[in-house]
Structure 1
Amino acid sequence: MYKKIFDIILPLLILSAIAWAQTPGKAGSNALMGHRFLTFNTVIRVNQIEVSRDRNVGEDERALHTPEKVKAFRNAVAEGFPGGKMTWAFSWLALNDTSKNYREIRALVIGYHHTYGDEITFIPGAYFANAYNTTEQVNKDIHDALNIISRMVGNGYRPTSIVAGFLSSENQQYLAETENIHVCQGNIWSQFSIDNQDGDGSVAYPFYPSKEHFCKPAQDRSDFIDCVNLDGWSVDFLAGRRAGFAHGFNSRMGVGPIETIGRYGPDTGLKEMMHTTAIHFDEGFKLNGFGWVTNCWELSLPYNPAYLKRWLSQVRERWPDTRLITQGEFGLIWRKYYRRNTFNYRFVERGSGIGGSDADKEIRWFMNKDFRLALLRNNDDASSEKVIDFTDYDLPAHEPAEMTRKWSLLGDINQKQTRAQDKPVPLDSLSKHAQSLILRHYPYLFNSSK
């Protein structure tokens, strides 16, 4: 009799344990697959672009950073996504400014770390460190800033990630091997001909970078860097295929407020932000087994935090299982699941009709260790599909030896179409080598193209 009761109860206990482990905040919350993740960062700086410790480019932003603004910003996150965590990235000057406002801001953020579990970290160069500094200087800035943050927060605190915009492979290797930090927001996917640095050519989701180039996934142990390289903010793939402001559009349009709320107003802007979020949380979730959306909303931006609250509330309402966690937490969850670059990411998007997100187009992206491939077609004509990007990661790559804005990794065909060779072509017009690589991963693509 007892054995029969045991046989009945045991499966129930196992199912209960599994359900408990998968509940947000429980042990299973450290799992990658089956979850939707949202990471939200902000940047606090003194000057618009702090190219070095003592040289600035751009506007002085002291007046745009106040304790009142910090409070309103954090309250919007707390109200829009109760229980959520975020990442605060301080520039060098923001860590060292002795004015009353910045002293109060630092104290507030330390309080948020203790109250909400927020992460406090560093952003070298205010996004474009390698465009203005040597790798040695960037390493020194990272080292000194991390020590300042540890002393500032106290109790042995140390961030699990840094925010960088772009960060060279040599600097990411230093971060992992010397500073023992294994997560870096180190690339801005598809950025080209916009802002102060180019960096197109990478994978849109997390990957381990190669020692050759921060946009290239490591191919084997010899060029492996144990630093999870993260995108800066999720963009609309159709908008992102353009170069800068080509054709009057903004290639950075996605979940960021500048290109959405700032350009189209809160209603249409939020519609586009939700469209981009859905790319990852609906079809992307089905294809990849997990979904990830990331956003960076600089504190200096002139947008009402109420719009941030609206977006977070809508995300939480539409996808209630979403977890808003720090960038470092997400990166380490990915690192625990993927010990090497064995990922295989796929994305499908039909345009929103807003800005450069063409309503009559469908784009498909395929990204793995060996290559990235983008196919573009008209919605009503499958035969119109052509390759607009093929980047072979098996080829040697090199980062610039000098300080420059040009850090992209452009493949055989690049989505921005800035070179003569970037003209879209049918899949079966690619080189035999390219076709063999694609056939190895996605043989069905050739069946559907015939």
Structure 2
Amino acid sequence: MPPHAPRRRARTRRSIARLRSASIDAFAIWRRRLLFLVGGICVGLAAVFMAKLADAAQAAFRQILAISPLLALVVTPAGFGVAALLARTVFPNSQGSGIPQVIAARHTHDPALRHALISLRVAFGKIVVMALGLASGAAAGREGPTVQVGAAIMAAFGRLTPQRLPGLILAGGAAGVAAAFNTPLAGIVFGIEELGRTYEARTTGLIVAAIVAAGLTSLWLVGNYTYFGTTDAGLALGGSWLLVLVLGFAGGLAGGLFSRIVILFGRGLPGRAGAWIGRRPVAFAMLCGLGVALCGLASDGASYGTGYEEARAILHGDAAARLDFAPLKFAATVLSSISGIPGGLFAPSLAVGAGLGAALRDLFAEVPIGALVLIGMVSYLTGVLQAPITSFVIVTEMTQDHAMMIPLMIAALVADAASKLVCRGGLYHVLAEQILARADAPAEPVRRTA
């Protein structure tokens, strides 16, 4: 045997081992990419289904009101009671918007808690009970629930791989926003600002791929559309820009007040009132439903549901907003949020902001109604979320009105500062901290916007 033969065989074995290792690594990389893409498609399908279901639920409630508006005094409390009971007993962790659950799931180190927050069972319950709430007249949206459903779908795909990437949860939530609003840029920004605060560099491209997959699925099913339709409103540089500061401050204070109320009830009211709510959560939900019904009667039905149609009509000047629309929608959204039933905040917050902007039309008669409404939307949404970048990006994408970009940025910054005067922490992150505290699970600190 030639003296160099053993060395040659050793080199051959090492080469084969390297090729095998490279093949395994390549397979793992492509499997991970495929999970993000297929998961994104499933999130897009879920978002479209939830949109259709929400529309059908609201249409069913309008048919009930067509018989007699007074039926809401029975239907809404009863629906709230059943929804709260299901959310607490059959589908726990499906309450509220779902975004705090996703944030908590990203930060907890407890796999059991993570699964309990974003399981497919919770996602199914979220969809069913959300539809029940809207069919009962709840002033709630479907976009926040889409985030939790999207995160649950991606987490389920993550269980197919041993790596269990945390980026899957972030990708699912961000893809949910992108598909729900048809706003891919807002999905990316929302992932950075709200769900993750920062991107993990190794998963950035995959997260974008999931958002693209979800967006293309929605585009294929419902076509290319802008959520509120396109507008060409503008704001000439001059004295009218005082509006940006006034609306920004007012919207920020109102949004901060909303968040403070929801956080207060989330922690539990002190004294006998808090103890009674703790013992009788279903009865409390029914009382909240009665309050929503009274708001609906006072507003001639305008305060029910997501508020999408009302906000769109105000934005395009198809209907003049009543002066009491914003406060009644605000009250109905507060009651829906503290009742414990599933439902999101994006669409109702945009509706409140639209009403707030339109209410100032007489004071700023020279400003186009579209500009007033857009600034009001961004201001109030920023006040609620304390996420200024997400707020102005999502409104800009929903209307394709890039001429208003700078005024909306300024309004968002002013509103964020005003909101922090009333409520120190961002709503979703404070609620996520409460979830982790109740679970008493080890977790990373939930970072808030500075």
Higher strand residue share: 1
Higher helix residue share: 2
Which structure has the greater CA radius of gyration?
Answer: 2
